[in-house]
Structure 1
């Protein structure tokens, strides 16, 4: 196999923590190579080294047969290596075309050539079938899924030889994922090498030709994707059986606990029930949950709720945007988990006993599989998937009877997903909590939920028991296609 990029014996430590202990990886021109592993396996650290964010302690990298050691991300891009980050790296106050061209805006006589920049941005978005996005709007006004599209378009604009995709579909609907796969096929035909990181093994098997598995900062396996059973890859990843990804349970429903108000009629969820909400980007799923929790004003929600009022009513909300809304990255794991319980934990106003915080937080590290040294570790030091688990732990620590979960498994590996599904199922079955889940991943909705509601154009257009849905029928409803 001719090699475009080769990594050998890459090592990296952060103080006493060894993040990488000798990782090797090789990728050919026109190949999609899947990088697989649990949260904390070392994938993000390896990609930061490859994209010039940090420097390795040991090991070698060659690109097109020449030594490769980028000084920074701009140097990496000059060498033809671009990365799409799972955690969005956009400038929220800038508009769409400014973000897409950021760092490489065309100029004339020392001035930014706005017309050329807009044309380039429109072309990049057109490759993703999103040329309709308003180029003049600040990206902060778009949904997380739409921001993900903008992030991908920016990477494509540089015409990379090696493109790193870190969870590129984590916020995309099935329809947008299909469009992305078409772009990947086109890039492969053009000879672009793609390193594809995803926790969705079904899509990895569809899009990648070869794979490498990392575990505890080391390469534990690699090979041909089509020739390797999925069970074998899972075994390398997690060292345990996750064949039953979705827990078997029989729902015993109790009294009505919460009603989502919005266009298309109210949705009432009962004690012990898990209600899923499906829909395409822009269908209004997130807006519906936010309005009902009181984060965004809406004339369709009675009682003018506020987040403080909802918390008092024992209604909890998990935002899809953990970075901006779900966590305080500068605080510790324990402090984040205890955010909504501070008044009860404090004996003296304004003082939070660290020991009491730790005692409260420590069990969640095991229950949700949060990979951290201690609960006093800063959340900002954790991988994206482990940050998501901390956000969930904060919600579950609060005595909420109704849980509103917006993309709860975004960026979480398959082993941790199995743990989380079990936790959600037990919260419904054993504790009688009413749970509403938004997910862009249809197998998750079908495997976890008792009922699924579908939204289109800001309204709920259908809701029925999960057993009465098929994926094609659900997609037709999401697209607004009758019959």
Structure 2
């Protein structure tokens, strides 16, 4: 029997930044015809390893071989030339160009010095049909299709430049369940054709559904490589977080540990709506109550929340806060009413990438005080040190640029920003998307502790189990309508899924 040889091997990889040993003697190997999951908490070194592999960073020490041939990948173009292609969570294509143009940009077939549009469109259509099982009009602009289709187009482009290794970095974070199934069908087909796929995700269910092998990193070091079928889930979590499951075990499950008595109504919406975004809905939340908001992507979850924060203006219905009727016509007005909103899009609506952790934390507080009442540097340092410690933000350096932090730690900084405002009502839109299990548990614990102190929380998440874990009630959205509220003994996955589906299980 012939022993399969790895198509890619990284040995003894070290990468250091100022004051941080991001990768410490890491080994990694990838075989043809396999889906290999790269797992680890935020800050474990996954992104750094991928950037070394794709030439964004240069390793300080270590070797990389492709098909037993030593290579030195100095930049992303060299990585592509070696057959390594990456598809990122945010599709890195040109939305205004056609599907065919995106696939062949920079490599368009030409005839007599001009782009041969007919041939390019025909090639693109054939490529998508044969390798992606995707039959679409390739002459339409890319942004006229769903995120799922855009992901497949990005993969098709990667394959068209003779990829031997395909890196999928959080490809499912913006997809619904149906779209995830379609992507996995394509991945299985590519795997059968001999492609090596490196799959980065935080969804444990997906890891066990699609991957053959798992490599785990922790604190920049290799924990081990395992066959997926031989690694129980509980062991995977233990190896990722490197400690007992105290964080997870302390979290109440279902209705356990919730507030026994809730202290009056904070906010009430009657037939609040916005044409084209969310149909009129009724919503109420008490002090110290956590209400979960669930639904498929595109169901109207974010749209409903934005009306409660004044980010979008309602064109129907009424809103009352603390029993007084009000109209939130701007986020500034909402903040003045004790409402805070932590957006799901932390990259564009949350962090200021080139500012430090400290500067990002104090932004909202400073804005409320006014720029003529500046917080002293001493007070800023006190605030930053307090919240870095309280939220376990790493690295524990308030002067670090926030863009250099992992996604989970960036999320904690944004949470700290809003907690400094001492809001009465906190809207969390996908607060744990794209972060590891340990950081998720810490954020869930924080939410529960805030509610215990009397804060009202609207918790929006695509992970139903997570919503059920922290919520007193669950509101279900479908097709931009609030269709059902579930509480008490009926609050379980089956009931919620039936409500989302709109029919019998």
1:107–1:167 CA distance, 2 compared to 1 (3 A): same
Q: Secondary structure at the match of 1:265?
A: strand
C-alpha displacement at 1:105, in angstroms? 5.6
2:12 aligned residue: 9
Structure 1 window deviating more from structure 2 (147-156 vs 39-48): it is 147-156
Contact 2:473 2:485 in 1 (8 A): yes
C-alpha displacement at 1:124, in angstroms? 4.7
2:455 aligned residue: 433
Counterpart-to-counterpart distance in 1, 2:98 and 2:16: 37
2:324 aligned residue: none
1:165 aligned residue: 168
Contact 1:20 1:45 in 2 (8 A): yes
Counterpart-to-counterpart distance in 1, 2:335 and 2:454: 18
Counterpart-to-counterpart distance in 2, 1:219 and 1:137: 39
C-alpha displacement at 1:49, in angstroms? 1.1
1:367 aligned residue: 390
Q: Secondary structure at the match of 1:295?
A: coil
> Is 1:215 aligned with 2:218?
yes
Question: For 1:176-217, what per-residue CA distance to the aligned partner results, in whole angstroms no more than 9, with x for missing partners?
Answer: 223322222222212221112222223212221211111121
> Is 1:244 aligned with 2:253?
no
RMSD: 3.0
Q: Secondary structure at the match of 1:150?
A: helix
1:274–1:131 CA distance, 2 compared to 1 (3 A): farther
1:460 aligned residue: 482
Q: Secondary structure at the match of 1:437?
A: strand
1:218–1:304 CA distance, 2 compared to 1 (3 A): closer
Q: How do residues 21-170 of structure 1 correspond to structure 2 at under 5 angstroms? A: 21-86=24-89, 89-90=92-93, 94-95=96-97, 97=99, 100-101=102-103, 103-104=105-106, 106-109=108-111, 110-112=113-115, 120=124, 124=128, 127=132, 135-136=140-141, 138=143, 146-147=146-147, 150-159=150-159, 160-170=163-173
C-alpha displacement at 1:444, in angstroms? 1.3
Question: For 1:393-426, what per-residue CA distance to the aligned partner results, in whole angstroms no more than 9, with x for missing partners?
Answer: 2122221111111110012111111111100011
Residues paired across the two proteins, number: 475
Structure 1 window deviating more from structure 2 (419-428 vs 287-296): it is 287-296
Counterpart-to-counterpart distance in 2, 1:388 and 1:103: 35
Structure 1 stretches lacking a partner, 5+ long: none
1:137–1:90 CA distance, 2 compared to 1 (3 A): closer
1:257 aligned residue: 266
1:333–1:131 CA distance, 2 compared to 1 (3 A): farther
1:105–1:394 CA distance, 2 compared to 1 (3 A): farther
Candidates 275, 282, 285, aligned match of 2:291:
275
Q: How do residues 172-191 of structure 1 correspond to structure 2 at under 5 angstroms? A: 172-191=175-194
Counterpart-to-counterpart distance in 1, 2:137 and 2:486: 32
Counterpart-to-counterpart distance in 1, 2:446 and 2:97: 40
Question: For 1:214-257, what per-residue CA distance to the aligned partner results, in whole angstroms no more than 9, with x for missing partners?
Answer: 11211122222211222322222222222427434123323222
2:235 aligned residue: 232
Contact 1:272 1:431 in 2 (8 A): yes
Question: For 1:339-375, what per-residue CA distance to the aligned partner results, in whole angstroms no more than 9, with x for missing partners?
Answer: 11115778x8274422211210222223332212410
Candidates 336, 348, 352, aligned match of 1:312:
336
Structure 2 stretches lacking a partner, 5+ long: 274-278, 319-326
Contact 2:38 2:46 in 1 (8 A): yes
Q: Secondary structure at the match of 1:377?
A: coil
2:467 aligned residue: 445
Contact 2:147 2:175 in 1 (8 A): no
> Is 1:298 aligned with 2:303?
no
Candidates 16, 19, 23, aligned match of 1:20:
23
1:422 aligned residue: 445
> Is 1:333 aligned with 2:357?
yes
TM-score by length of structure 2 reads: 0.85
Question: For 1:143-181, what per-residue CA distance to the aligned partner results, in whole angstroms no more than 9, with x for missing partners?
Answer: xxx547524531333213212122222232333223322
Contact 1:167 1:198 in 2 (8 A): yes
Counterpart-to-counterpart distance in 2, 1:299 and 1:477: 27
TM-score by length of structure 1 reads: 0.89
Structure 1 window deviating more from structure 2 (374-383 vs 65-74): it is 65-74
1:15–1:231 CA distance, 2 compared to 1 (3 A): same
1:96–1:15 CA distance, 2 compared to 1 (3 A): farther
Question: For 1:282-322, what per-residue CA distance to the aligned partner results, in whole angstroms no more than 9, with x for missing partners?
Answer: 22211221233222233135425210000001101111111
Q: Which has the larger radius of gyration?
A: 2
1:351–1:256 CA distance, 2 compared to 1 (3 A): closer
Structure 1 window deviating more from structure 2 (214-223 vs 301-310): it is 301-310
